[in-house]
Structures are given as structure tokens and as C-alpha cells.
Amino acid sequence: MKIIIDGPSANAWLLELKNVSVDEVEVSEQIRLASDIAKKYIGNHLPNIKDELKYGSGYILIKGVPIDLETSGVDPRLETKIECPSISELSLLGITAASGLRPFSYAQEKMGSLVHEVVPKPDCGNSVSSDGFVEFKLHADGAYLNRAIRPETLSLMCLNNDAQTKTNLILIDDVVHGMSRNDVDILSSLNYMHVSPETFGFGVKSKKIKSSIIDRVDGSWEVKVATHNTEPCGFEAESALTRFIHMANSKVNAISWEPGDFVIFSNLRCLHGRGSISGRRWLKRCYGSRNMVCGSVVDLNDSVV
């Protein structure tokens, strides 16, 4: 599903957001205000957005969303964490909230920031994560986490993509429908070790949870896997995972980014990834969930992982 915001509407949206981006207003209130503004410009699309996330392709692209006009010359690695959201962040958070999801973060990731800077870092070049330059294979965020606290959606906003690196998305239904019944049964079994991502800090190198890769929830397929580090337990589990990865890679949809592009997708129904990065690329990201308090920071040390 693609939505295009025309120039006059984008300019009017931008002007309204400028009145919200002030230090005196609490972040939760800023999100509410940004959501109300977003509804003015995409309100007629919201029922379709919600249906598409839950029952359709699992993702929506909105083009022409307001971003900060000065971003083209800014190096995000030099920016510090601030309490007052930028225009891009208000667009990101506002559309997410307007779509029925509550933005939240984890205390153990990116210093608990509600909005993440998705940009390669020179000292993390070989990190298989949002911080690295190398290929980031298909995965779902927080695959090792309990379903109740995993991100239900991811929202991404493009500020710069000189690198011309695409984002790959694949709906789990398209993968499962191409697999044999035996492979589906194996992938649904508790024969896989999920590992915490490199961007999460727990004071230990990694955390592992044994679980399945696909699950049938309320009649729909859901997925949790990081194809670069999920560990199969046994030959059958490894073979099924190999065929699963091959099937997923053969059916991906590649999204080309331009500044002002916004994508929201279901982290429960879709896998995502990207190729290697050569050049400048700057996205912003936030998580969404209907289970969380809007603007909350989840401490995983106090939660059931």
C-alpha cells in the first residue's frame, strides 16, 4: 500500500508540527499532538493502514512526509540525545500513534531513546545490526523476547539515502505457503535458539531463548527469527531453517528510500533486512505496540523476556 502526500499538504503539515516541537511540552503530549496532526492528512487512509498491517501485505509506504529541512548537511553521529523531538521524529511518532500503535523503547537499547538513529557508525562497521555497514540479513526485531513485549510494528523515516541501499521486506504468509507441511511443523517446534541482538546491552555478551520460528496466533502466521544468528537444534531444524531462508529471500519486496519516505510494517508478520551500505544513509526508527504505554521505556531486567 502506497500513500503520496502532495506538496501543499506536506508544507501545511510541517508548519503545524513546528508548533509542537517545543521544550515545554512533555513527550507523551507531543506524541498525542503529532498524532492529531497526522490524522488531518492521512485520516481517510487510517482504516486501510490498520487492515493492511493486520491482514494485508503487512506494510505501508507513505511518501512526502515532513522532515527537517536542514538534515541533508548534518552528520547524525554528532548529534546528542535531546528531549525535544525534531520535525522528522514528530512525523515518525505521530503517524505511528495515529495508526493505533503506541511508541515505546527499551532501556537496554540505544540508551532508552524513543527514536533511534539508524545510521552506520565507523566503530561498528562490521556489526550485523542497524549500526553496521555490512549486510543485515532478514530478521524480526526482538525475536528472543516474549511476544507481549516484542515490537508489534517498526516505523522508519528516511532523511538521507545517498547510499541507495534498499530495505527488503517479506510477509511470513508468502514464505509459509511455499514450504512443505513437514517444514512448517519443524519451524513451529521449540527447536531454535534466539539470541539477543548486538544493539542490546545487558552486561553480558548475549542472552539466549529456546523457541519456535513461526507460530499460529488467532488464525494468522507470525514470525520471530534473526536469520544471521538463530541457532537450530539438530539436523532437521537446521535443514528446515535453510529452506525457510531460501524461500524468504526468493520472495522479498525491495523498498527504495528517498528523503520524506515513511514505512510502517508489522514486526510480527514481516521479516526485514538490507544489503551492505556504501555512502551516506540516515533513517530514524521507532517501535510500536498496542500493549505498551505510549512513550514508555521498558526495562528488560524487570520484564519477562
Over residues 158-206, the pLDDT tens digits come to: 999 998 999 999 999 999 999 999 999 999 999 999 987 766 665 444 5
Choose between 153 and 112: higher pLDDT: 153
Task: Answer yes or no: is 304 within a domain.
Answer: no
Span 69-101, pLDDT tens digits: 655 444 544 443 445 678 999 999 999 999 999
The whole-number pLDDT of residue 205 equals: 43
- Residue 23, in any domain of the structure: yes
Residue 77 grid cell: 553521529
Top pLDDT among 128 and 209 is at 209
| pLDDT of res. 237 | 97
Is 292 within a domain?
Answer: yes
**Is the pLDDT reported for residue 246 higher than 80?**
yes
Instruction: Give the pLDDT score at 214.
Output: 97
> Considering the domain boundaries, does residue 199 fall inside one?
yes
- Expressed as residue numbers, the domain containing 263 is 2-299
Which CATH number covers residue 187? 3.60.130.10
Predicted confidence (pLDDT) per residue in 253-295, tens digit: 999 999 999 999 999 999 999 988 888 899 999 999 999 999 9
pLDDT band for position 28 (50/70/90)?
A: confident
| pLDDT above 90 coverage of the chain, percent | 69
The predicted structure's pLDDT at residue 207: 74
pLDDT of 238: 97
Q: Residue 19: pLDDT above 90? A: no
Total domains in the fold of the chain: 1
Q: In this predicted structure, what is the pLDDT of residue 80? A: 39
Decide if 117 is inside a domain.
yes
Residues 288 and 299: their CA atoms lie apart, in Å, by: 16
Structural domain includes residue 305:
no
Residue 11 forms part of a structural domain = yes
Task: Judge whether residue 210 has pLDDT over 70.
Answer: yes
Interval 41-57 mean pLDDT: 95
- With respect to residue 279, please indicate whether it lies within any of the assigned structural domains: yes
Mean pLDDT within 21-36: 81
What average pLDDT does the structure give for the chain?
A: 88
* Residue 77, pLDDT score: 45
26-40, 101-115, 192-206: range with lowest mean pLDDT: 192-206
